[in-house]
Structure 1
Amino acid sequence: MADILDWTNADLNRLDMAAYEARADEMAARLKQETGAGRLPFLTMPYEAELKAQLADLEGFLKGFDHMLLLGIGGSALGARALQKAFHPGQDQPGHTGRSLWIADNVDAYALAAYMEKLPPEKTVVVTVSKSGGTIETVGQYFIVKEWMRGTLGDDWAKHMLLVTDEKQGFLRGEADGFGIRALPVPDNLGGRYSVLSAVGLIPALFLGMDTDALMAGAREVTAALADPGLDGGKLAAQSAFRLAAWGAALMDKGFAEMIFFTYIPLWASFGDWFAQLWAESLGKEGRGSQPVPAVGVTDQHSVNQMFMDGLRNKACLFLTCPNLPAGPKFPSDLPDQFAYVRGKDFGELIQAEGLGTRMALSESGVPLVEIRLGADSPRQAGKLIGLLGAATILTGWLMGINPLDQPAVELGKRLAKARMNADGLEKEKADLNGFLTADRDLREF
Structure 2
Amino acid sequence: MSVSPWPALKTLAAQQDSLRQAFDNDPVRAARFSASACGITLDYSKNLINTQSWSALQQLAAQSQIKPTLNAMLNGECINNTEHRAAWHMMLRKADVNGLTLDGEDVGAQILACRAQVTALINQLHQGQYLGYSGKPITDLIWVGIGGSLLGPQMAVEALTPYHCSPVKLHFAGNIDGAVVSDIIKHLNPETTLTIVASKSFGTEETIQNALTIRQWFKQYGADSAAIVQHFWAASSNISAAAEFGIIEQHILPMWDWVGGRYSLWSAIGLPVALMIGTEQFAQLLAGAEAMDQHFIHTPFSENLPVTLALLGVWYINAYGCQAQALLPYSHYLRLLPSYVQQLDMESNGKSVDVNGRILTEATAPVIWGDAGTNGQHAYHQLLHQSRLVVPADFILPIKPAHNLGDHQQRLAAHCFAQTQALMQGKTLDEAMNECLADGMTDTDAAMLAPHKVSPGNKPSNTLLLPELSPYYLGALIAMYEHKVFCQGVLWHINSFDQWGVELGKQLSGPIYQALSGNRTETLDSSTQALIKLFSHQINNNNA
TM-score range, shorter chain: 0.7 to 0.9
Q: Tell me how far 1:70 sits from its aligned partner.
A: 1.2
- Distance in 2 separating the partners of 1:129 and 1:385: 24
Could you report, residue by residue, the CA deviation over 1:265-291 in whole angstroms, capped at 9, with x for unpaired residues?
111111111011111111222153211
Question: In the alignment, is residue 437 of structure 1 matched against residue 528 of structure 2?
Answer: yes
1:420 is matched with 512
Is the CA contact 1:28–1:236 (under 8 Å) kept in the aligned structure 2? no
SS at match of 2:394: strand
Does 2:282 align with 1:282? no
Deviation at 1:113, TM superposition (A): 2.0
Map of 2:228 onto structure 1: 157
Distance 1:17 1:433 in 2: 48
1:162 counterpart SS class: strand
Provide, for residues 395-444 of structure 1, a one-character-per-residue CA deviation record: whole Å limited to 9, x for no partner: 11111122111122211111111232349xxxxxx886455524799x9x
2:66 equivalent to 1:18: no
Higher relative contact order, chain-length normalized (CA < 8 Å, sep 6+): 1
Distance across 2 between alignment mates of 1:389 and 1:236: 15
| Contact 2:173–2:180 (8 Å) recurs in 1 | yes
- 1:103 positional shift: 0.9
Q: Which amino acid aligns with 2:307?
A: F
Kept in 1: contact 2:46–2:462 (CA 8 A): yes
Distance 1:98-1:322 versus aligned 2 partners, 3 A rule:
same
Aligned to 1:129: 198
Q: For the structure 1 residues 398 and 435, does the alpha-carbon distance in structure 2 shift closer, same or farther, using more than 3 Å as the test?
A: farther
2:303 & 2:256 partners in 1: Cα distance?
29
Equivalence map 1:123-272=2 (5 Å): 123-152=192-221, 153-154=223-224, 155-166=226-237, 168=238, 171-172=241-242, 174-175=244-245, 179-180=248-249, 182-200=251-269, 202-210=270-278, 211-224=281-294, 226=296, 235=300, 238-253=303-318, 254-272=320-338
Distance in 2 between residues matched to 1:436 and 1:107, nearest whole Å? 23
Work out the number of aligned pairs and report it. Answer: 408
Asked whether 1:59 is paired with 2:99, we answer: no
1:311 to 1:3, Cα distance in 2 relative to 1, 3 A: same
The CA distance in 1 between the partners of 2:249 and 2:220, in whole Å, is 18
- In structure 2, the partner of 1:104 is 173
Q: Which residue of 1 aligns with 2:134?
A: none
Identify unmatched segments of 5+ residues in structure 2.
1-37, 78-85, 93-106, 131-137, 353-362, 426-456, 516-520, 535-544
**Which stretch shows the higher mean deviation, 213-222 or 102-111?**
102-111
**Alpha-carbon separation, structure 2, partners of 1:5 and 1:170:** 47
Cα distance change, pair 61–159 in 1 and its aligned pair in 2 (3 A): farther
Deviates more, 1:132-141 or 1:143-152: 143-152
- The offset of 1:329, in angstroms, is 2.8
Please tell me the residue identity of whatever aligns with 1:62: L
Query: In the TM superposition, what is the alpha-carbon distance from 1:90 to its structure 2 partner?
Result: 9.6
Is residue 496 of structure 2 the alignment partner of residue 409 of structure 1? no
Q: Could you tell me which residue of structure 1 aligns to residue 45 of structure 2?
A: 8
C-alpha distance in 2 between matches for 1:49 and 1:172 = 22
Correspondence for 1:338? none
Hey, what's the Cα distance between the residues in 1 that align with 2:466 and 2:523?
49
Q: Is the 8 A contact 1:127 1:161 kept in 2?
A: yes
Contact kept, 8 Å, 2:149 with 2:199, in 1: the verdict is yes
Give the 3 Å change call, closer, same or farther, for CA 33–348 of structure 1 in structure 2. closer
For 1:272 and 1:172, locate their aligned partners in 2 and report how far apart those are by CA, in whole Å. Answer: 32
Cα–Cα, structure 1 residues 421 and 305, in superposed 2: closer, same or farther, change >3 Å?
A: same
1:362 to 403, 420, 423: 423
Mapped to 2, the partners of 1:431 and 1:391 lie a distance apart of: 47
Instruction: Give the aligned partner of residue 372 of structure 2.
Output: 296
Please report how far the alpha carbon of residue 117 of structure 1 lies from its aligned counterpart in structure 2 after TM superposition: 2.2
Report the CA distance between 1:8 and its aligned residue.
Answer: 1.5
In 1: Cα distance, 2:309 partner to 2:248 partner: 47
CA distance in 2 between counterparts of 1:415 and 1:29 reads 36
C-alpha deviation, 1:371, in angstroms: 1.4
Q: Which amino acid aligns with 1:407?
A: Q
Greater Rg over alpha carbons, structure? 2
Contact 2:87–2:260 (8 Å) recurs in 1 = no
* Identity, % of aligned positions: 23
